[in-house]
Amino acid sequence: MADMLATPLCPEKLKSGTVLRVYYKDHKAEEKIAGAITILMSALPERDRHRLVLCIGSDRSTGDALGPLVGAYLKQLPIPRTSVWGTLAQPVHALNLEQYAQRLKKELNQPLVIAVDASLGKPGSVGLIEVGKGPLKPGAGVNKKLPPIGHIYLSGIVNLGGFMEQMVLQSTRLFHVFEIAAVIARGLQLALSRG
């Protein structure tokens, strides 16, 4: 499966709301993710502030473990001016997301928030990683009403949606999620280590 972007990264399109979609096995996926994040960060007034990567998901569901896996990877890496919330040890999920959102509002120096979560998609989109401008809408794929959060979002499509979403997330192969998480984490590391 090839990269879903027909043209190279276009800063104006990304800044105006176009989403980067890249297949996780694309040999340049990490660089494309890092490039998109760098472009999106450069357009934000928060770009020089501390950064927070908010990794949403649960370690109790293989499909929903994408965020905590990304968080666990990132916690092991030295990334300047960056905090990570949501790991396998301390997941940020539907039951505690509101608490983390309130904690975020109380932060003295409001950070630039990059939100990461798993999602479900259509046939042909499984394995794609989306990077976009604006808040992530966690839980949308499983019909949960959770607060939108973040300035930039990354979403890994881990399985098919549309029918019995909770069951689909439970039966998603962990290895597949693990591979997508590794690509997202390396892309984030590249982007956040640059500036």
Residue 47 pLDDT grade (very low, low, confident, very high; cuts 50, 70, 90) = low
Cα 151 from Cα 45, distance rounded (Å): 10
pLDDT of residue 97: 87
| Rounded mean pLDDT, 139-160 | 83
| Residues of the chain above pLDDT 90, percent | 58
Helix 66-75 to helix 174-194 angle (10° resolution) is: 50
Report whether pLDDT(16) > 70. no
Average pLDDT, the chain: 87
Report whether pLDDT(5) > 60. no
CA 139 to chain centre: 13
pLDDT of residue 110: 85
Does 102 or 127 have the greater pLDDT score? 127
The DSSP code sequence of 46-76 is: GGGS-EEEEEB--TTSTGGGHHHHHHHHHHT
As assigned by CATH, the class of the 11-194 domain is alpha beta
- Tell me if the pTM is above 0.75: yes
| Rounded mean pLDDT, 31-40 | 95
N-term to C-term CA, the chain: 32
SS3 letters for 103-128?
HHHHCCCCCEEEEEEEEEECCCCCCE
| Rounded mean pLDDT, 174-186 | 96
pLDDT of residue 11: 67
pLDDT of residue 123: 87
pLDDT of residue 2: 39
Tokens 């839980």 correspond to what residue? 139
Report whether pLDDT(140) > 80. no
CA 67 to chain centre: 7
pLDDT of residue 169: 81
